[in-house]
A and B are shown apart, each in its own frame.
Chain A
Amino acid sequence: MIHGLILKTFQVFVEDTYGTTTWDEIAAEAGLDPPNFEAMLTYEKTMLRTLISSAETVLDKPSTQFIEDIGTYLVSHPNREGLRRLLRFGGVDFIEFLHSLDDLPGRARLAVPNLDLPEIELIDEDPAHFVLNITGDMRSFSHVLVGVMRAMADDYGALVLLDHKGGTSRVQQIEITLVETAFAEGREFELSQPGEQAGEGV
């Protein structure tokens, strides 16, 4: 089974990026009726593959292009502030964030016990070069991760080069070259959730 959170993410990404009409077309192409996923339910494992190939047909582009956009969308779209915050808990700078990626599947499971993500292993070759090994049977996840890292680098104000090296069906590799950690002013991150009333005094 595949967690509805993954499929729902795909759905809201399409809706927010290409519009609800496009989503309805993709859902129809995938034979999804009603054209809606529930984030807290689980679905047949084949659904993700069906969805991706339907999106390729409707959007008329290879999946790698829009799947990477999902990662960027997840972190940087105004509707999705939650995940950016959760990822920023991983570290105070981009390098710490990279190291926290090893824990990502574990952290995800802490929040959603039945959410299975591929295993991630960061290898630091030298202070500016990293390789990320992603092991699991959800190949598209590595492309999402490229988008996530790209957006998080922006968020931290770091300048990085990301290169998806492909790999086998089980293990995918991403090369990360850190050009500059403090390239630009990153976005603010407060531990406390925005919208919570700050108390008086102090």
Chain B
Amino acid sequence: MKSTAQILRGLCPMHVLIDEEGIIHSVGPTLHKLQTPKLIGANFLEAFDLYRPRGVTNMAQLLANEGRTLYVRLRNPKRTQLKGVLVSDGAGRVVINLSFGISVIDAVRDYALTSRDFAATDLAVEMLYLVEAKSAVLNSSLHLNTRLQGAKTEAERRAATDGLTGLVNRSALDQVLDRLCRSGQSFAVMHMDLDFFKQVNDTYGHAAGDRVLRRVAQVMLEVTRTDDTAARVGGDEFVLIFNGLVNEVRLGAISERLIGRIEQPIMHEGQACHVSASIGICINAEEGADPDVLLERADQALYASKRAGRAQYTFYDPGQEDGNSGEGKALAGE
């Protein structure tokens, strides 16, 4: 016949069997593996650091906690936490069965435990399996998320960009304008249309035309500040938005610089392509403006420049709101 201690060793590899004095009579094989100082013969409350429930310093207090969850730490450098439950047979023998609880993952590593260190009924191995499987799956998901995030950013960038020039496109421009109008910030909208671009296309071909458009885009980026917006909104039509800049003198100077640099010959396969630009400017200093109205006003000013002989800039003049704007009325600069 097997003794109680033998049965306990078979079923509970982490049990402690103590007497009513608290002296340890036997321990399970796994617990034996963890605790280097000799456990047999030691006092349970000295061999283990019982930290919850608090204030248990003698056997009577310990026995009063029968059936409740006990939390102990090993008195070794790892200070491994264990949880356990105590049952007394009422005749001087007390069994405390311990387990790792949530610390099982660290314990398996710290003590190089194997499946045989756990009772067959213990779910520890299943838990380790799950932790490992789940982290593999989670890793996979994280990698996928990173790739999708990259693809999304790239798709958004492409959706907002004009493929030929790298400037923002019409839909991105609309978003910028909407945001600015809602914010109530003052800003200027500059509508620019190339002059003689059709001649370049017709004479030297589309490749030359593309070269010109790319060069113009480059000039626009060089002449503007980083928080301004330069957009290509049509074949040879561009819109610039100057954030917080409403000074007519400065806007005029920028326009002159733009036109001057665009008028520099642009070389394509040994051919010098000549274009210029007409510009219309609309300044917005009011809150809640309608983006479409602002674009329309910049457009009106642009056509004033065109009618006045091209290669010049014009500020929108509210006085001509609904008229056929006469050439003289727009404030034309050159």
Contact = CB atoms under 8 A, between A and B. Distances in A.
B2 interface: no
Contacts of B130: 110-111
Given A40-B140, A111-B133, A192-B112, A202 B78 contact: yes
Contacts of B105: 192
B331 interface: no
The majority secondary structure among interface residues of chain B is helix
B324 interface: no
Taking residues whose C-beta sits less than 8 angstroms from the other chain, chain A's interface range is: 20 to 34
Which of A82, A190, A191 lies at the interface centre, i.e. has the most chain B CB atoms within 10 A of its CB?
A191
Given A86-B132, A190-B114, A191-B113, A38 B108 contact: no
B144 interface: yes
B109 interface: yes
Given A192-B112, A202-B36, A202-B78, A40 B132 contact: no
Nearest to B124: A191
B77 A39 contact: no
Taking residues whose C-beta sits less than 8 angstroms from the other chain, chain B's interface range is: 20 to 34
A191 B108 contact: yes
Interface in B85-111: 105-106, 108-111
A112 B132 contact: no
Given A39-B144, A86-B129, A200 B77 contact: yes
A107 to B, nearest CB: 7
A86 B144 contact: no
Interface in A167-196: 189-193, 196
A85 B130 CA distance: 12
B207 interface: no
Interface in B116-142: 116, 125-126, 128-130, 132-134, 136-137, 140-141
Q: What 3 A-B pairs come out closest when comparing CB atoms?
A: A111-B133, A201-B77, A192-B109
9 contacts: A41-B144, A86-B133, A89-B129, A112-B137, A189-B114, A190-B112, A191-B113, A199-B78, A201-B77
